[in-house]
Amino acid sequence: MLADIIPTHDVAVWLLSNIDSFLDKIGLGRNHTTEEILYVAIIIAVAFLISWLLGKLILIGTQQLVRWRHTDMGDDLIHQRVFSKCSHIIPPLVFLGLLPFAFQPKSLILHVLEVLATLYTVIVTALAINAVLTFIWTRFDRKENTRNLPLKGILNVAKGVVWIIVTIIGLCIIFDKSPAALLAGVGVFATALMLVFRDSILGFVAGIQLSQNDMLHVGDWIVVPSTIANGICIDVSLTAVKVQNWDNTIVTLPPYTLVSTSFQNWRGMSDSGYRLISRSMLVDVESVKPATPEQIKSVKTLPGMNEFITRVQTKGMFYNPAVACVNGSIDTNLGLLRAYMCHYLLHHPLIGTDQQILVRIMDPGPNGIPLQIYCYTTTAWTAYEAVQSEIFEHLVAIAPKFGLQLFCSPAGENVSDIASAITAAH
């Protein structure tokens, strides 16, 4: 096939005649061994020269194309060195085309050189194929992978398949055996192969499960309870999942860990645009009292409470068709506080009013009655913490107006007051 493209026979004859003339001029005479050495050295030099020239021409041509078209594709072609790696296939083909003319047909040296050149051709072909695969993956991952699927594992599998095929072909070339005969003996080493490629096989299967079940994307915030991983997934490959924790440390996990154990993915929260606030404050049971007329009159001055109290007094309930009944009553000071906090949340600019909003009492405990705030706000971490802090700071500040005390373990001045009271009693 190469002879149809390049007249290798004519080139070889011309090259050998010039070698003979050169040996005559320097007085060495015609020596077959010397001719072979010089011939091989020259065609190796020619092959490397062709490789160097092709690499330079391709690099210059690609750079000119990038300047002319100004596309990301050109930048990717240069970065991945696709054309440069593909050009390395031509020199060994030239070498193989010119090599046989200087040796006897059954020469051992000829056989060894042909095997080495063929192996080199197979290896550079594999490198070129992998460069093309990397280029295709880069383009697709950047332009088409809108779901941020972990496709790098698939790329690694494809590269692994290429190198497995190259290994089989290389062994066939070295031992002069057909691939079928070589593959027939692979079963003997199946157990060893399973041990060697255990992580790769498990990672490949886990990667397929993660992608097929849409369990993990690059950029997801995940928490793996059995590990210290709590952060953003930055890479998913065949053998490793990298998670950048909030303290900027990197945690590396095998993919099958995420399949074999449970993990929490916060993508649903990010996609919805809302993050849940669910936190409780403990109210002292002794401070919960029936609401007096004076207290109701005082609470009416708070925003929204006049309308609520008036409607409850006249109709027995207060209903907001857009959300639900305001969680509160006018029977106790705690009921008034629940109604006020519910109104406060409904009119807070950073609380999602189209989501569930609750101010409810949880099961009482030895430390008091838990008053839980349940609502949704923005997903931005800083804003989320600011809104949550604002709500509970307001709750702590407004509770005394309703005659309520929030539970706090004795400390500081409280301990001193208790000690003074005990001393005075004695």
Q: What is the CATH number for 228?
A: 2.30.30.60
Give residue 161's pLDDT. Answer: 82
Report the alpha-carbon distance of residue 202 to residue 157 in Å, rounded: 12
Block means of pLDDT (10 residues each) for the chain, length 426 residues?
A: 46 55 54 62 72 72 66 67 76 71 67 84 89 82 58 74 84 78 62 69 78 82 92 85 94 89 90 91 92 90 86 66 58 91 91 89 90 92 93 94 84 58 62
Domain count, the chain: 3
Report the alpha-carbon distance of residue 399 to residue 339 in Å, rounded: 12
Q: Of the candidates 239, 269, 299, which is a domain's last residue?
A: 269
245 and 317, same domain (yes or no): no
Pick from 262, 263, 348, 261: nearest CA to 303: 348
- Written as six digits, the tokens of 406 are 């929030």
Query: Residue 338's CB: how many other CB atoms inside 10 A?
Result: 21
Q: Of the candidates 251, 269, 287, which is a domain's last residue?
A: 269
- Residue 256, classified by CB atoms within 10 Å of its CB into exposed (0-12), middle (13-18) or buried (19+), is buried
22 and 140, same domain (yes or no): yes
Q: 213-250 burial string, b = 16+ CB within 10 Å, else e?
A: eebbbbebbbebeeeebbbebeebbbbebbbeeeeeee
Alpha helices in 188-304 (DSSP H): 190-196, 198-212, 255-260, 267-272, 293-299
298 and 396, same domain (yes or no): yes
Q: With respect to residue 323, please indicate whether it lies within any of the assigned structural domains.
A: yes
Domain span at residue 105?
Answer: 2-144
Q: Of the candidates 144, 162, 194, which is a domain's last residue?
A: 144
Q: With respect to residue 261, please indicate whether it lies within any of the assigned structural domains.
A: yes
128 and 43, same domain (yes or no): yes
220 and 260, same domain (yes or no): yes
Report the alpha-carbon distance of residue 408 to residue 334 in Å, rounded: 17
Report the alpha-carbon distance of residue 346 to residue 391 in Å, rounded: 12
289 and 219, same domain (yes or no): no
Q: With respect to residue 292, please indicate whether it lies within any of the assigned structural domains.
A: yes
278 and 252, same domain (yes or no): no
DSSP-assigned beta bridge partners for residue 325: 319
Give residue 379's pLDDT. Answer: 86
Pick from 281, 297, 280, 308: nearest CA to 402: 297
Report the alpha-carbon distance of residue 408 to residue 283 in Å, rounded: 9
Pick from 38, 36, 11: nearest CA to 26: 38
Report the alpha-carbon distance of residue 321 to residue 281 in Å, rounded: 28
Radius of gyration of the chain (CA): 39
38 and 72, same domain (yes or no): yes
Q: With respect to residue 301, please indicate whether it lies within any of the assigned structural domains.
A: yes
The answer to whether the CB of 361 falls within 8 A of the CB of 329 is no
DSSP-assigned beta bridge partners for residue 420: none
Strands (E), 275-419: 275-283, 358-361, 369-377
Say which residue the tokens 């838990």 belong to. Answer: 370
The answer to whether the CB of 137 falls within 8 A of the CB of 155 is yes
Q: With respect to residue 201, please indicate whether it lies within any of the assigned structural domains.
A: no
Give residue 277's pLDDT. Answer: 94
- Written as six digits, the tokens of 5 are 């493209």
Report the alpha-carbon distance of residue 281 to residue 341 in Å, rounded: 12
Give residue 148's pLDDT. Answer: 54
The answer to whether the CB of 147 falls within 8 A of the CB of 216 is no
230 and 280, same domain (yes or no): no
Query: Residue 407's CB: how many other CB atoms inside 10 A?
Result: 16
DSSP-assigned beta bridge partners for residue 393: none
The kind and range of the H/E element at 33 are helix 32-69
257 and 368, same domain (yes or no): no
C-alpha distances out from residue 355 to 231, 249, 265, 380, 388, Å: 26, 35, 21, 17, 16
Give residue 14's pLDDT. Answer: 54
38 and 85, same domain (yes or no): yes
329 and 252, same domain (yes or no): no
Give residue 224's pLDDT. Answer: 93
The kind and range of the H/E element at 385 are helix 381-398
Report the alpha-carbon distance of residue 90 to residue 74 in Å, rounded: 22
